[in-house]
Amino acid sequence: MTIREFPTRILVRHTDPQADATRLLVLREARRAALSPILLVACVVACWSMWREWIHGHAPPLEYAADPYWSLFYNAWPLLFGSFLLGAWTLARERPRTTRELFTAAPLSARRRTAARLVVAAVPALAAAVVVAVQAVLVARAGGVPLGDFPYQLHVMPTVVEWASIPVATVASYTAGAAMYSLTRTRAVTALIGAFVTLFGVVSFWLWIWPPAVFISPIGNPVPEHDLTMSQMLDQLDAPLSRPDQVGLPWRLLDPDPALSAAHSVALLGMAALFAALTLERTVPDNRNHWIAWAGAVAVGVCSLAQVAAYLL
C-alpha cells in the first residue's frame, strides 16, 4: 500500500457502499481543492496582505486608534474571496473521474455529490487556520497589537476565539460561493458578485462598523467602541481609549470582546448552513434541506441577539 493510497484505505470501512463512495468522493474533492490554483493564489496573496506589516518584528504604525486591530481581520479578504471562488468552482465541475467512473458499483445521488462538495469547505478553513497561526506568531513576536491613542495606548493580543473567526468566515464564504453558483449557473457572474461583496463587505469595512450592520458583516466587530463620560473615563485610565476627532466629543473605550467574536462566529456557521441548504435545495428538493435551513436560521437569529447583548453589556 502506497502513501497516496493510505487515506483511501482508512476512509473505506466496507460498511455501506453508498457511504464508502461518499467518503471517497469527499477525499478526492478535498485533494483537488487543496491543490487548486484558486486556493494557492488566495493563500499567497493573504500572506502578503496579512504578514507584510508584521514580518519585520514590530507593529505597523498607528494611524487610527483601532486600525491595527481591525487590519488583522479585514486583511484576510483574499482568503474569503478565494474560498468563495473555490466553492463556486468546486460545485460547477461535474467530474466523471470522481462522480461516475470511480463509483459505478455504488452510484451516488446528486444530493450526496453536492453534500460531499460542501464538506470540502474544511479545506480552505484549514488553509486559513495555518495562515492565521503564523500571523498570531508574528503579532506575539511584535509584543501585541497597539490599541488606543497616546497616552491611553496598550499592546494587546487577540484571543484564540477571535483568531478563529477568520477560518469560520472562510467556511461561510465557501458555501456562499456554492449557493450563488447554484442560483446563477455561471461562474463569471458568480465571481463578479463575490468580488463586489468582498470589496464592499470586507475591504471597505468602515461601511459596516456601526451596529446593527456590524453584526451581520463578514468580519464582525473586532473592537467595540463605547462613549465614556468624564467619570467613566477616570475609571478606565488603564484601558485603551480613542481620542475624539473634535473638541467636545467624548473619549471612547476600545474593548475587544471574545464573547462577541464567538457569537459572530456561530452566526457565520448558521449562515453557512443556510447557504448549504439553498445549494442542496437547488440541486435536489428535499425536506431534509428545510431542517438544515431552519437550524441555520435559528443559529443566526439567536447569535445575532447574543451579539447585541454582548455589545450593550
Residue 271 φ/ψ, nearest 5 degrees:
-65, -40
Helix (H, G, I), strand (E, B) or coil at 140: helix
Q: What is the pLDDT of residue 236?
A: 66
Domain residue ranges in the chain = 6-312
Tell me: pLDDT of 156 over 50: yes
Over residues 22-62, the pLDDT tens digits come to 788 889 999 999 999 999 999 999 999 999 989 988 888 77
- Quick check: pTM over 0.75? yes
For residues 169 and 50, give the distance between their C-alpha atoms in angstroms, rounded to a whole number.
Answer: 16
For residues 30 and 216, give the distance between their C-alpha atoms in angstroms, rounded to a whole number.
Answer: 29
**CA angle at residue 171 from 167 to 176, to 5 degrees?**
140
For residues 272 and 266, give the distance between their C-alpha atoms in angstroms, rounded to a whole number.
Answer: 10
Over residues 265-309, the pLDDT tens digits come to 999 999 999 999 999 999 888 899 999 999 999 999 999 888 888
Q: Confidence band (pLDDT; 50, 70, 90) for 4? A: low
Cell of 16: 455501506
Over residues 51-87, the pLDDT tens digits come to 998 998 888 877 777 888 888 898 999 999 999 999 9
Nearest to 26 by CA among 125, 115, 124: 115
Give the HSE-up count for residue 234: Cα atoms under 13 Å, Cβ half-sphere: 2
Q: CA 266: distance to chain centroid?
A: 11
How large is the average pLDDT for residues 145-157? Answer: 85
For residues 180 and 194, give the distance between their C-alpha atoms in angstroms, rounded to a whole number.
Answer: 9
Higher local confidence (pLDDT), 75 or 212: 75
